[in-house]
Structure formats: C-alpha cells, structure tokens
Structure 1
Amino acid sequence: MSATSVVSPIQAGTWAIDPAHSTVGFSVKHLMVSKVRGKFDTFSGTITVAQDGTPSVAAEIDVTSINTGNDQRDGHIRSADFFDAEKYPKATFVSTGVRPDGDDYVLTGDFTLKGVTKPVELELEFNGVNPGMGHGPVAGFEAKTVINRKDFGIDIEMPLEGGGVVVGDKITITLEIEAGLQA
C-alpha cells in the first residue's frame, strides 16, 4: 500500500465478490457517433481487509465470457484481432493502494489484459454495508476507469471511408460490486 493508503470502511476479513449481484461492464465508441456496451458474464475476486484495516483487491475476468448482445461481434472480440482469448483467456487486477478522494476513493493497481500489465486508477465509491439476508454482511462498491486499448496490445485499426474509425481507443470499464464477508 502506498503512504496515502486508507483504513477500510469494512471490517477485517475476506470479502468475496458475488457475481450474481455484481456487474463488470464496459463501453467503447462505435463509428465515432455512438457507444457499444457490453459485460463479462464470468468473473471473481476478493477484497481482503487486514486487521489494521488495510484493504487489498484481487480479481479475475474470463474474457471469453464477453457479452455485447451480438454473437458475431463477441466472436470477433475474442479473436486475435482484439483479446486473443484462446491465448489470453483471463484479465486480472491486483491492487497496489487506495487513497481518499473527497467522499470517495481512488483504487490503484496493476491490470493485465492480453498478456500486458499496466497500472490503472479506478474511481471508487463505497456504497455501504448491509447485514445481508442470513448469510452474513455484504458491502457494495462502484468503480470506473478508462483505459486505452492500444496500451494492452489491442491495436487493430478499422478506419472509416470518410475518416475516423469503427472502434474507439478509449474503453470505459465500470464495476458494480457486491461482496460478502466469508466465514
């Protein structure tokens, strides 16, 4: 953790991401005028809070589980043109620190996609803790970051006849996470 790390607002222990109540989504500019949105159907992760309150996050995304609502597009994104999912089926995130940012936080970490690891910063909002529904407490978070696909070796060029490109370079990743405290 960095020198500006914070004490977690959730109790010590391991909190597992609940994929049934969480979403890992993204959006990217399409044809320079609109956005394609999608999500990953399979992912996992934990938030580990040490006894001193220092949090850390580790997560994994199955990139083969991409779902944009269009099977043909999803197949193309899995191909070597984009994710090369046969060779690189997982994306990972491992936190390196967290710091306050007003009422919210900035979560820093190393993101690996298509075999390339780069540092990223996520704007993080803590939504609170609920006692849960008989299975222990749950905590909620929302996070967002913007990455450049070319930084991760996804450098396909698809120019348009009149100028511009089919797919933008900037990808907005959005996370809506519910995590449950493990016994």
Structure 2
Amino acid sequence: MSTQVSIPGYEVGTWVIDASRSEVAFQVRMLGFMKTRGTFDAFEGSVVLAENPLDSTVNAVISTTSVNTKHKRRDTDIQHAGYLNTGQYPTVTFASTGVRVDGDDFLVDGDLTALAVTKQVTLRLSAKAFETGADGKPVARFSATTQISNKEVGVTKGSAFINDTTAIELDIVATKQD
C-alpha cells in the first residue's frame, strides 16, 4: 500500500524536460583535492506525474558525446575507451523503478545504464516549483543529486588519479504536454 503525499501546485500528466533550461552536471575529484566539473549538453526525457506522486515515473537519455568540461582536450580524452567510450556507447539512460518519500525530498530509484552496465541508483529529488511559464504553459522545476562509482559502470582509465566517485547534479525544468 503506497502513501499519499501532497505537493503544492502539483499537476498530473506528462512533462517533457526542456534541455535549454535544464542542466545535467557532474563533478569528479582528482588526486583527492582537485575538482573537475562538467556537463552533458544534449539530453532528453520525460516525467509522468501520477495521481499519487509515488506512482510517478522518470525516463531520460543523455548523449555522451555532449560532455563539456570547458577544456576541449579533456573532453576529447573523456570520450575515448576507458572513460565514456562514446563511439561504442553514445548514450547513458535512466529509467525509474520506484519513488519513495524521505523527509521533504523524494528518493527516485532507477536503473542507470552506462557503458553497457546497468546499475541501480537513487536520486535525491526535490520538487522546487509548479508554476505557469511566460508562454502560459505549466512548468515544473526539480533538482536531484546522486553519486555513482566509476568502476562499477566500467570506467577503467585514470583510476590512479581520479577518485572512484562521480557526483551528479540535475536541475530540471519540464513543461506539461497537452
């Protein structure tokens, strides 16, 4: 039996992620103290909000070739085998498998597939706002965070210099579909 929750302004329906107003970012530590930050600039996805928010689903696809660390040589290196191997694995996907409440946040469990490896991850999600956009259409704003193990998803290069954990931060704006 699932628990019913209430979110101010919540609207049931299918919401499409607006990549032009959203961000998929990551951060990795090198040598234990230096941070490398980056984004993936090409991605798409949808959020289907159910009557009971805990029955909602999320699906997303990220283009690995769109990696952007603001350093062209590093971006090229990251696309090779041992890192993202974009030639063989051009996308990373996320498909939710469940939603739980945790205080004021939600935990969105799902399958993350990268480099042909599928791992269960949990996103800590916060519903920031449900509002009307400048065009009069409903807009939803979410933020989410998680961490993944580079080794577990198949990143084999750079392990002597790069910490195993990559932090992922999502700032998502989605518009409701008619």
TM range (shorter): over 0.9
Report the AA paired with residue 115 of structure 1: A
Deviation at 1:48, TM superposition (A): 0.8
Instruction: Give yes or no for contact 2:4–2:52 (8 Å, CA) kept in 1.
Output: no
Aligned to 2:11: 11
CA contact 1:60–1:90 (8 Å) conserved in 2:
yes
Is the 1:111–1:120 contact (alpha carbons within 8 Å) kept by the matching residues of 2? yes
Match of 1:139 in 2: 140
Residue in 2 that maps onto 1:175: 170
- Structure 1: where are the runs of 5+ without partners? 160-165
Counterparts of 2:74 and 2:90, CA distance in 1: 17
Residues 84-110 of structure 1, C-alpha deviations (whole Å, 9 max, x = no match): 100000000000111111011111000
* Alignment-derived partner of residue 112 in structure 1: 113
Q: 3-state SS of the aligned residue for 1:150?
A: coil
Q: TM-score, normalization: structure 1?
A: 0.90
Instruction: List aligned pairs for 1:124-163, cutoff 5 A.
Output: 124-159=125-160
Matched residue of 1:75: which SS?
helix
SS at match of 1:176: strand
Q: Is it true that 1:79 corresponds to 2:54 in the alignment?
A: no
Distance change (3 Å), C-alpha of 1:81 and 1:50: same
CA distance in 1, matches of 2:105, 2:152: 27
RMSD: 1.6
Choose 44-53 or 169-178, whichever is displaced more: 44-53
Q: Which runs of 5+ in 2 are unaligned?
A: none
Q: For 2:151, what is the secondary structure of its paired residue?
A: helix
Deviation at 1:155, TM superposition (A): 1.9
